[in-house]
Structure 1
Amino acid sequence: MNKRVIFKWVFTLFFISSTTPLIAEDTIILSTHLTKERYDYKVTFTIMQEAFKRNGLKLILKPLPGLRALVEADRGRTDGDAHRIDGILEKKGLHNLIRIPEIQQVVHDYAWAKKDISLKNGWSELSSYTVAVHLGTVFVSEKAKAYAKWVAAVGTTRQQFKMLDAGRVDLVIATLSNADILKTELRDSGIRRIYPPLTSLPIYTYLHKKHSTLVPKIAESLQAMKMDGTYQRLIQNVQ
């Protein structure tokens, strides 16, 4: 083998190693629109980490803004999307993801306000109000845009509640678990939750089709976790 052939071979090996992510084969990377400080991010990671661990896999969550998390998963740049509603693929015209059929968690979205507002008839009563939603929450964003006077989509729930406290919007739509700011810096703000919840949605994890054989295994692990008490114990320990 002459020096030119050896050089080409070494260069090829270097190129491959420099362009391939340094992630072990037993690691799953799921993109998510959730930000790390959110309670539902922590629940998602805790539950799915255990489900993948039972299959010999390490889980990494990769936060990405808005719908980019879903698109990156559909293109195979991540191994899937960690936290989405049923029907999201049809809504967005995506074809490369498979829904793990076992429910990961159920999310209850409430409206929050400083004013005395009644929303007993649900979304249709938003027509007189301006609303702040979390960027990337597809169902909630679409519903708010369909009914509210005006909608601001922002990157964090903290931004949502800050806008509400400053009078820049009339309402915020968020889960109870993501309203922790009301226990700290906004505890005297007068912001309160409006009953009943606007929606209660089951949440699922999606995997890229290259992991199709893993889908039923993760579903079985989630079912087993619920049966053996692990699921409830893990959620209770999330801070």
Structure 2
Amino acid sequence: MIFYRFKSTFYENPLRGAETTLSARKPGNTNPIRTLFAVFVLLCLQASVLPVHACENSECQEQKNTFRIGYVEGSLLLQELLPLLDRAYRQIGITPVFQPHPANRSLKSADHGLLDAEAGRSSALPEEYTHLVRVDVPLHHFRGYAYTNRADITAFDPEELHRYRVGQVRGILWTDKLLKELETLEVSSSPELVRILGKNWVDIIFMAEKTMKMLEQEQALESINIKKLNPPAKEQSVYHYIHKKHEDLVPELEKALAEILQTRE
């Protein structure tokens, strides 16, 4: 369970002195006209104080229009999708800021409104995330596979998984669902998952095919002798999700993403 601690901030009322002066008067000496005038002055003072907090410069407006978008730290697939989302948001006049978090924390923070959006998740989002709205343009068609470095394991069979030591990235929804009945070794990122396989701490790991290909390009994995097991463990599309307080942006985002993806084809 994740706990969020909020720091309370107390603001001193700049009109406290005026309020004290009015309340200190004795009822018998109160002049109705003077009281009405004092109330009028008080309201005018409040009106003059409030605009101080309004956005009056470009820097304030930029902060107001900044979207905080979470994504799974260490996910090379999602990192590849960030430029696409960045372009789409800027096209509709919003500056996105991308923040990496552990998978569970990122999703829950977006659902609770602590983040404005979640970069990418599967179409089968659990029902518990009731505050997230899907932007209905698939960003990527996803294939997830089991991988191993053991010569005697030649195919993926979910019925045989209980015989092996299995590793997964913590908080990845499709592997959580697939492996919910098993004891697994959980790590925080895909590169770490490959490392524990190389150290023979586990027999099988699960990962998006594209993420594994990117890891193979960036790191020397030949010594681990990783092989992909068929058939795929999971096939699905990846979508962008935003908090429902911003759902009025969905049509604009869908249009922008569709246009950008069409030009890529």
Query: What is the DSSP-based 3-state SS (H/G/I as helix, E as strand, rest coil) of the residue aligned with 1:140?
Result: helix
Query: What is the DSSP-based 3-state SS (H/G/I as helix, E as strand, rest coil) of the residue aligned with 1:224?
Result: helix
> Which residue of the other structure, out of 28, 45, 70, is the alignment partner of 2:67?
28
Report the alpha carbon displacement of residue 112 of structure 1 after superposing the two structures with TM.
1.0
Shift of the 175–2 alpha-carbon distance from structure 1 to 2, 3 Å rule, reads: closer
What is the aligned residue count?
218
CA–CA distance in 1 between the matches of 2:207 and 2:105? Answer: 21
CA–CA distance in 2 between the matches of 1:225 and 1:143? Answer: 33
> Which residue of the other structure, out of 75, 79, 83, is the alignment partner of 2:112?
75
Where structure 1 has 5 or more consecutive residues not aligned to the other structure, the ranges are: 233-239
**Aligned ranges 1:82-231 → 2 under 5 Å:** 82-90=119-127, 93-116=128-151, 117-120=153-156, 122-146=157-181, 148=182, 150-179=183-212, 180-183=214-217, 184-229=219-264
Q: Which residue of 2 aligns with 1:44?
A: 81
Where structure 2 has 5 or more consecutive residues not aligned to the other structure, the ranges are: 1-13, 19-41
Report the RMSD for the aligned CA atoms in angstroms. 3.0
Q: Is contact 2:75–2:211 with CA below 8 Å preserved after alignment? A: yes
CA–CA distance in 1 between the matches of 2:63 and 2:77? Answer: 26
Report the alpha carbon displacement of residue 12 of structure 1 after superposing the two structures with TM.
9.3
Identity among equivalent pairs (%): 20
Q: Is contact 2:169–2:188 with CA below 8 Å preserved after alignment? A: yes
Return the letter of the residue paired with 1:97.
Answer: L
Report the alpha carbon displacement of residue 40 of structure 1 after superposing the two structures with TM.
1.1
Return the letter of the residue paired with 1:79.
Answer: D
Report the alpha carbon displacement of residue 73 of structure 1 after superposing the two structures with TM.
1.1
CA–CA distance in 2 between the matches of 1:101 and 1:50? Answer: 17
- Tell me the TM-score normalised to structure 1 length: 0.79
CA–CA distance in 2 between the matches of 1:3 and 1:142? Answer: 57
Query: What is the DSSP-based 3-state SS (H/G/I as helix, E as strand, rest coil) of the residue aligned with 2:64?
Result: coil
Query: What is the DSSP-based 3-state SS (H/G/I as helix, E as strand, rest coil) of the residue aligned with 1:136?
Result: coil
